[in-house]
């Protein structure tokens, strides 16, 4: 029932639309037109999130399908190149944008198949969030009060079709500013307070990289000082931590704060620490309703499901905060966020068959 040419054409059309984060206006217009053409009335909020309810004709709770509308840079002037073996790439100087246009295309094809074949299906809710690539800013601002579904499938994981993530981490970003006192480094270094030295001591007190089985810590940006002959009066650091357990994430943050406060006190410096929780960890029951329905849908297609954890975030982090039990399904793309991103048409077809099986 899947129209391979239509699916491929939809994907290529989606890829050709410039839709960097916070600049998704053209994508929103295209999707609204496609949905209206299928008799579906979408609602778009001020952040650019698109939501629609599709009434079904068979019993069963509503199911929500989600795929985000934005892509990463370099993403201006993207073009899909379809190769003879069914592989689709960009022309090499931009990302392809299969993250997440493959997910969007699969949802659109599912809707086309249901409509043109008059196939009975469950109630569905469609959610196309904006600004996912910048720590799910779109879905974080969405009003979920009208959402009925308690089960969701977010089409936004890289890798092989059949994979689905049931757990993802909290992500806390932080900025640390250490303030010392400037002095001439040659004539009066003892009059200064070396902010860089205090910061360096704090960094050495912390274990970075994989700090335990479920957590990572990285201080990725360090800057400070004004000249080689001046004791640095300031040092700024930026980093992030991730953990599959939110309480554990907060514990690591406390260790970061303690290290810098201890080092600052030793050197007589001052320290300011700011942090932001960009993502909150979730864990969906791998034997719960969403997972079991997904496993059955895969097996009907002859695909063996595989439940995995991921250290990346997605809009499912937002859904989980609102009590919606979701999985993040592989959308079939590989090498996301690079100019070497690619996908195969057969994998988009398989993804479409899986989500069809979830509603019929």
304 is catalytic: no
Beta strands in 204-245 (DSSP E): 209-212, 215-224, 234-243
Is the pLDDT at 314 greater than 90? The verdict is: yes
Is the pTM of the predicted complex or chain greater than 0.75? Answer: yes
61, 149 contact by CB (below 8 A): yes
What is residue 200's predicted lDDT score, i.e. its pLDDT?
A: 98
- Compute the average pLDDT of residues 118-130: 97
Instruction: Pick the catalytic residue from 132, 315, 325, 349.
Output: 132
What is residue 240's predicted lDDT score, i.e. its pLDDT?
A: 98
What is the distance between the alpha carbons of residues 53 and 63, in angstroms, rounded to a whole number? 10
What is residue 285's predicted lDDT score, i.e. its pLDDT?
A: 98
What is the distance between the alpha carbons of residues 40 and 127, in angstroms, rounded to a whole number? 13
Is the pLDDT at 259 greater than 90? The verdict is: yes
Nearest CA to 247 out of 316, 172, 317, 188 is that of 172
Q: Please state the domain extents for the chain.
A: 4-168+282-357, 170-279
Q: Identify the CATH number of the domain defined by range 4-168+282-357.
A: 3.40.630.10
Is the pLDDT at 2 greater than 90? The verdict is: yes
What is the distance between the alpha carbons of residues 340 and 74, in angstroms, rounded to a whole number? 12
What is the distance between the alpha carbons of residues 337 and 75, in angstroms, rounded to a whole number? 10
What is the distance between the alpha carbons of residues 70 and 19, in angstroms, rounded to a whole number? 5
What is residue 1's predicted lDDT score, i.e. its pLDDT?
A: 87
Residue-averaged pLDDT of the chain = 98
DSSP state of 25: H
CB atoms within 10 A of CB 117: 8
Instruction: Pick the catalytic residue from 70, 109, 133, 158.
Output: 70
Indicate the pLDDT class of residue 253, thresholds 50, 70 and 90.
Answer: very high
Q: What CATH class has 170-279?
A: alpha beta
pLDDT tens digit sequence for 95-117? 999 999 999 999 999 999 999 99
Is the pLDDT at 10 greater than 90? The verdict is: yes
278 is catalytic: no
What is residue 89's predicted lDDT score, i.e. its pLDDT?
A: 98
Is the pLDDT at 145 greater than 90? The verdict is: yes
What is residue 291's predicted lDDT score, i.e. its pLDDT?
A: 98
Is the pLDDT at 4 greater than 90? The verdict is: yes
Is the pLDDT at 245 greater than 90? The verdict is: yes
DSSP state of 81: E
The interaxial angle of helices 25-37 and 98-116, nearest 10 deg, is: 10
Chain mean position to CA 252: 22
Position of tokens 């982090």? 317
pLDDT tens digit sequence for 12-69? 999 999 999 999 999 999 999 999 999 999 999 999 999 999 999 998 899 999 999 9
DSSP state of 360: -
What is the distance between the alpha carbons of residues 209 and 305, in angstroms, rounded to a whole number? 30
């Amino acid at each position: 029932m899947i129209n391979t040419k239509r699916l491929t054409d939809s994907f290529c059309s989606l890829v050709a639309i410039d839709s960097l984060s916070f600049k998704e206006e053209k994508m929103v217009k295209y999707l609204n037109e496609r949905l209206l053409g299928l008799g579906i009335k979408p609602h778009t909020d001020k952040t650019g999130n698109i939501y629609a309810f599709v009434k079904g004709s068979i019993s069963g709770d509503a199911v929500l399908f989600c795929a985000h509308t934005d892509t990463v840079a370099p993403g201006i002037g993207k073009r899909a190149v379809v190769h003879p073996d069914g592989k689709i790439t960009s022309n090499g100087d931009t990302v392809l944008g299969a993250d997440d246009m493959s997910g969007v295309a699969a949802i659109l094809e599912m809707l086309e198949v249901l409509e043109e074949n008059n196939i009975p299906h469950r109630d569905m809710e469609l959610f196309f969030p904006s600004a996912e690539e910048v720590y799910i800013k779109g879905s974080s601002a969405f009003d979920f009060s009208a959402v009925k579904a308690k089960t969701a499938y977010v089409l936004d994981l890289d890798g092989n079709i059949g994979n689905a993530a049931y757990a993802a981490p909290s992500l806390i970003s932080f900025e640390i500013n250490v303030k010392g006192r400037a002095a001439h480094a040659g004539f009066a270094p003892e009059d200064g307070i070396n902010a860089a030295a205090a910061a360096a001591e704090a960094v050495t007190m912390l274990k970075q990289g994989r700090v335990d089985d479920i957590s990572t810590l990285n201080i990725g940006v360090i800057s400070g000082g004004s000249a080689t002959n001046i004791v640095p009066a300031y040092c700024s650091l930026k980093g992030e931590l991730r953990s599959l357990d939110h309480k554990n994430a907060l514990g690591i943050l406390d260790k970061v704060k303690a290290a810098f406060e201890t080092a600052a006190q030793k050197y007589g410096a001052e320290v300011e620490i700011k942090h932001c929780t960009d993502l909150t960890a979730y864990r969906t029951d791998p034997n719960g309703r969403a997972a079991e329905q997904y496993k059955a849908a895969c097996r009907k297609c002859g695909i063996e499901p595989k439940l995995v954890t991921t250290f990346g975030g997605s809009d499912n982090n937002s859904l989980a905060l609102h009590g919606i039990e979701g999985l993040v399904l592989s959308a079939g793309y590989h090498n996301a966020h690079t100019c070497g991103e690619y996908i195969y048409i057969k994998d988009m077809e398989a993804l479409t068959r899986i989500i069809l099986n979830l509603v019929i």
